[in-house]
Structure 1
Amino acid sequence: MEKKEQTQKQSEHTVGKRRGSRFLQRTMAFGFCGAVLLLVLISLIMPDRSFSEEENRVLSKQPKFGVTEVMNKEYMEGLESYTSDQFIFRDLWIKLKVQCDLLTGKRELNGVYLGKDKYLMQAISEPDQEHVKENIKGMNAFAARHQDLNINAMIVPNAAYVMQDYLPKGAPVRDQGKDMKEIQKQLDAGIGCIDVTKTLQKHVEEGMYYKTDHHWTSRAAAYAFNAAAVQLGIEGASGDYQRYTVTNEFSGTLSSKSGYHKAEDTIEVFEPEGVDVKYLVSDSDNQEQRPTAYDKKALKEKDKYQVFFGGNHAQVDITTTNDTTKRLLIFKDSYANCFVPFLIPYYNEIIMVDPRYYYDNVETLISGKHITDVLFLYNMDTFLTDTSIAGALAEE
């Protein structure tokens, strides 16, 4: 009898525990759903943000609703992007995710490798071979039309290739050395190729790339200029520079993209010693001439790399007091921005064109400005994926 009562009590106790457990589970489930719903409601009530300082990018806006947009899935895709970008406390969730990833040993964060000494290096993209062929074809056709010009191409390898010893163990990296050889093979003899890979590798421990950004540093650009000067036709180039630190608080695009913010960079500007050449700069976004290549206002902004020429513009014009007849046209991406200041003293005029934003006629520009030299200056990743070079070079 006693045994029967004891068994009954144990059974009742077990049932009670199960009921309590189910109640707790339901409570937690309802609580979680309620919290998510509350966050969603707050996200809808809060005003939308147009820009994320943390990620350094423009955030999605509420998509336009319409039958056409719904039918072609444009609305749903836009809505998904919008709700993700405007979700309340988004920056906090990103930081928490990064910390969780790091705790689990993950060293690839949103396409960015976290390497030795807190170096962030962008995973190198696979090239679109058709676009590469079109760009090189366009460059060769351009060179054939302008055999009287001194034309060179400097394609700069990216950090993940130059700094392979800094990558996380087992991180895959594209062989940009092979890419360089293939480009050199396809370019006609009328275009000189300047390969600064070995120069950058030799000085890699001096900081050839920023830790938090995808660009090379001014120091790397200085070494590259010294290595390239002779082929560019520059005689008596000054190899001595005064270095000035303009900020120690640069957190670049790779920090923003990865969500990893435990390093900051120093940006330097270099002034050649023994060179007395004055110059004026204007660009397609600001026609007012100014006597400097540097935009101090950018040092108060998130993207401090824009201190060089105020960022990218369709066209930048630089006129100098050098009475030489040499006039240089540069087709470029943002890697050129910290390199061009080294070129300024040695030309009468320099025109920078960014094909991503330039829609005027290049042939008219060349004849109107009496161009004598041309330089294609890109980082390898952009050169292999860019779709605008061939279009800008097309003869109209």
Structure 2
Amino acid sequence: MEKKRKRFPDSFAVIAGMLILLALGLAAVFCGGGEFSDWERRYLANRPAAPDLNTWTTDRETEDFLSDHIPGRQALIALDSSGLFLTGRDSQLSTWYTSGSVIEPPVEINADSISTKLRRFEKLAGKAGGVPWYVLSPHTHGWLLRDRIFPVLGRQYRSEATGYAVLDACENYVPMPGVFDAEPDGMYYTTDHHWTLQGAWQAYLALSGPLGYKPLALEDFRITEYPGFRGTTLSRSGLPAFWEDTLVCAEPDSPVRVTFIDRDAESSENRLIFPEDAGTWDGYAVYLHGNHGTLIIERPDAPEGTLVVFKDSMANCLLPLLSAHFRRIIAVDARYCTGVFSDVFARSEDTKAVLFVYSLSSLVNDTEITRKAK
């Protein structure tokens, strides 16, 4: 007769599982993962406070803390996100991988929101003394790659066509050159939603006619490169950081002064590119030292007067190129500035033109632009 194998009680498995969870919890408590996650670009949960029988928040705080500090958390998220991507589903953090790039999901278009902002822009430019004004908003990375994407996902990007139709109907809209759409590879970083130097270069060429300058050759600019860049789109995907980009910067090789105005603080530098930022978690801050409420670029040997720019971060790698042609560029970011947009005109007596540079997402969703564009 075959001898019956001895079977471990089910309670052993339950106890083993509980011990593993206890060990992971203790490791999280005593070997926390720090205060900030460079990989996710966010602050991690703090240790829970002492129990409070009135608010009953301790359990939630404990759960958040253990979730953020459990050993191997990044690997677990990467494994989960990779599985979702490989099975054709969205990642847990709402970004998609396709054609060698991690891209943002389609912008949910609200045509009225775009139209409202365009009307505000026209009225705002009138306060600058009737100078010419222009809007530049490049096609998104997803739109450029829509025909390469898995069909179920690619078709969703076609909803952005409604937004582009509203912009095309505006006589002050400056479209990107055809090569931007025809040759999408290299126009955006593979790990970030911002355009590369090549993408910004196409914008620089597109604006030369409306703004009245003769574009220089790319070789006329000082070019610097900074490898090891992993952008915010990759960090939001939850995917492992298996690949990276090289930040490529261009700026005129002539004296410059840039003034940063952030609420009550003001500082100045004699450069537009900041190599020390390239190796940080916010590597894109290599351009202009990041985002600022008001930015004033002064280049005395430039031929033109003042260009006023209202922008989001899409313009950060474009402004150094434009600075070759304007003695003064005043750039305003609605997210960080105080007051309203028209306040900036008091800083300029020779405004040549007003330029609005925004991503499609900002034109649709940024309510700060609508609130301050007056």
> Structure 1 length as normaliser, TM-score?
0.81
| Equivalent position of 2:208 in the other structure | 229
Pairing 1:215–2:198 present: no
Contact 2:177/2:206 (<8 A) preserved: no
Deviation digits for residues 157-200 of structure 1 (CA, Å, limit 9, x no counterpart) = 21000122442343143333331112344x5x6xx101116331
Contact 1:209/1:215 (<8 A) preserved: yes
In the TM superposition, residue 108 of structure 1 has moved relative to its aligned partner by 3.4
Deviation digits for residues 56-93 of structure 1 (CA, Å, limit 9, x no counterpart) = 222233577878966xxx88776654443233332222
For 2:62 and 2:123, locate their aligned partners in 1 and report how far apart those are by CA, in whole Å: 44
Superposition pairs of residues 1-396 of structure 1, within 5 angstroms: 20=7, 23=9, 25-47=10-32, 49-61=34-46, 81-101=64-84, 104-106=86-88, 108-109=90-91, 110-116=93-99, 118-127=100-109, 131-132=113-114, 134-146=116-128, 148-172=130-154, 173-175=156-158, 176-185=160-169, 187=170, 192-196=172-176, 198-205=178-185, 207-234=186-213, 236-241=214-219, 242=221, 244-258=223-237, 259-271=239-251, 277-285=254-262, 287-322=266-301, 324=303, 326-370=305-349, 371-394=351-374
For 1:77 and 1:228, locate their aligned partners in 2 and report how far apart those are by CA, in whole Å: 52
For 1:327 and 1:141, locate their aligned partners in 2 and report how far apart those are by CA, in whole Å: 19
| Equivalent position of 1:6 in the other structure | none
Contact 1:326/1:348 (<8 A) preserved: yes
Q: Secondary structure at the match of 1:94?
A: helix
Which of the pair has more CA radius of gyration? 1
For 2:365 and 2:54, locate their aligned partners in 1 and report how far apart those are by CA, in whole Å: 31
CA 1:112–1:348: 2 relative to 1, 3 Å: same
In the TM superposition, residue 333 of structure 1 has moved relative to its aligned partner by 0.9
RMSD: 3.0
For 1:169 and 1:361, locate their aligned partners in 2 and report how far apart those are by CA, in whole Å: 43
Runs of at least 5 residues in structure 1 that lack an aligned partner in the other structure: 1-8
In the TM superposition, residue 133 of structure 1 has moved relative to its aligned partner by 5.0
CA 1:360–1:338: 2 relative to 1, 3 Å: same
Runs of at least 5 residues in structure 2 that lack an aligned partner in the other structure: none
In the TM superposition, residue 278 of structure 1 has moved relative to its aligned partner by 2.9
Which amino acid is the alignment partner of residue 237 of structure 1? P
Deviation digits for residues 202-231 of structure 1 (CA, Å, limit 9, x no counterpart) = 2323x1111111111011111221122101
Q: How many residues align?
A: 365
Which amino acid is the alignment partner of residue 43 of structure 1? A
For 1:69 and 1:195, locate their aligned partners in 2 and report how far apart those are by CA, in whole Å: 54
Contact 1:277/1:321 (<8 A) preserved: no
For 2:322 and 2:27, locate their aligned partners in 1 and report how far apart those are by CA, in whole Å: 53
Structure with the higher fraction of residues in helix conformation? 1
Q: Which moved more, 1:351-360 or 1:45-54?
A: 45-54
Which amino acid is the alignment partner of residue 173 of structure 2? C
Which amino acid is the alignment partner of residue 279 of structure 1? V
Q: Secondary structure at the match of 1:358?
A: coil
Identical-pair percentage:
22
Contact 2:287/2:316 (<8 A) preserved: yes
> Structure 2 length as normaliser, TM-score?
0.86
For 2:215 and 2:107, locate their aligned partners in 1 and report how far apart those are by CA, in whole Å: 35
For 1:33 and 1:79, locate their aligned partners in 2 and report how far apart those are by CA, in whole Å: 17
Contact 1:326/1:373 (<8 A) preserved: no
For 1:308 and 1:323, locate their aligned partners in 2 and report how far apart those are by CA, in whole Å: 20
Contact 1:136/1:390 (<8 A) preserved: no
